[in-house]
Amino acid sequence: MKEAARFDELLSPLEADVLRVLWPDKQLKVRQIYDALKHKRKVALSSVAVILDRLHEKNIVSRNVETARGGMRYIYFPKHDKKEFEKTVVESAVNKLIDAFGPTAVSYFNERFGKK
């Protein structure tokens, strides 16, 4: 429940796009993510950096510091793969409904999914 609660808020379109870039490649720098996104949509490098920092604060992505010849950079990678992430979001939404409506929500789920 606690893990799921971290994904309470829905992702913004840019957050979702950034995650879609990160999922297959796993570990990328801000500039690499920007390079992958700039052909698909109008976006600034600074905006990508803000989004990644936001996703890091939401505990959706992690980051390490990489020391390279040109200096130090953050390397970002997702905490969960796409399936795990989606599962956690669904779990969070279901838990929220149960918290809010209690037995009504549970009996609805039984009715709705019991038929199948």
Distance of closest approach, residue 31 Cβ to other proteins, in angstroms: 7
Tokens, residue 74: 């953050």
Q: Would you count residue 85 as binding other proteins (CB under 8 A)? A: no
Q: Would you count residue 44 as binding other proteins (CB under 8 A)? A: yes
For residue 9, count CB atoms less than 10 angstroms from its CB and return exposed for 0-12, middle for 13-18, buried for 19 or more: exposed
Q: Which of 23, 74, 77, 85 binds other proteins (CB under 8 A)?
A: 74
Q: Which of 2, 39, 41, 69 binds other proteins (CB under 8 A)?
A: 69
Q: For residues 45 and 24, what is the distance between their CA atoms, to the nearest angstrom?
A: 20
